[in-house]
Chains A and B, each alone.
Chain A
Amino acid sequence: MYEKHIMICGATGCLSSGSNQIAEALTEELESRGIRDKYRLVMGGCPGFCEVGPIIVIFPDEVFYCRLKTKDMAELVEQHLIGGEIVERLLYKGPDVDAPARFYDSIPFYSKQRFNVLRNSGVIDPESIDEYIMRGGYRALKRALDARWIPGPETGT
């Protein structure tokens, strides 16, 4: 089991603002310190707040970092992942918050949203069917198929 899950937005908006380079820089930083195996790095789904990309969300700490640069990765690794302290300057800041916002519930853009269909976005690896199944994937399809009415000789129609 990994110590932390680091979800790097891999969707269009963040890719265009450099999330691939962020992922590479973070991976290099972790590898250079010999701690890459402790962390699960995933290029995840879109959290929806493209204008503040690139975005990284760290679980289970529930910390939302945004507007990241490759040069921030050393500090993020040193201070947060190793030191256990949030890098406040990389949190969301804006005219709609009084203080740097740590996670979805304190960021006004998200605070009145509830993800239903997209609840797994940014939580699982979008390229892993196993993870999708762990999070309830295909269950609704299974229920629908189990309950379907099939006309034909077996049902007497």
Chain B
Amino acid sequence: MEKFIDPCCEKCTHTKDTPCKDFVECCVEGPICHENQECADKRKAIIEKVALDEKFVIS
């Protein structure tokens, strides 16, 4: 998962043909549809790569 649009695991069903209604929140706060620390860490890694500090993210 290098970008938010990439699925974090096989449980993510978001595609252009089957868009998830929670996609936007899921990018920063996810995963929303399942619990998995590894999936959460993947999102966190994307954020930490560019976020200068904790104020950078506005959810």
Contact = CB atoms under 8 A, between A and B. Distances in A.
Interface of A: 1-2, 5, 40, 59-60, 125, 128-131, 133-139, 142, 145-146
Contacts of A130: 3-4, 27, 46, 50
Interface residues of B, number: 20
Contacts of A142: 24-25
Contact of A133 (B27, B48, B53): B27
Question: Mostly helix, strand, loop or mixed at chain B's interface?
Answer: loop
Nearest to A40: B50
Question: Mostly helix, strand, loop or mixed at chain A's interface?
Answer: mixed
Nearest to B59: A136
Given A1-B48, A2-B50, 18 more contacts: A1-B51, A129-B4, A129-B5, A130-B3, A130-B4, A130-B46, A133-B24, A133-B28, A134-B28, A134-B50, A134-B51, A134-B56, A134-B58, A135-B56, A135-B58, A138-B24, A139-B59, A142-B25
Contact of B49 (A1, A136, A139): A1
A18 to B, nearest CB: 26
B47 interface: yes
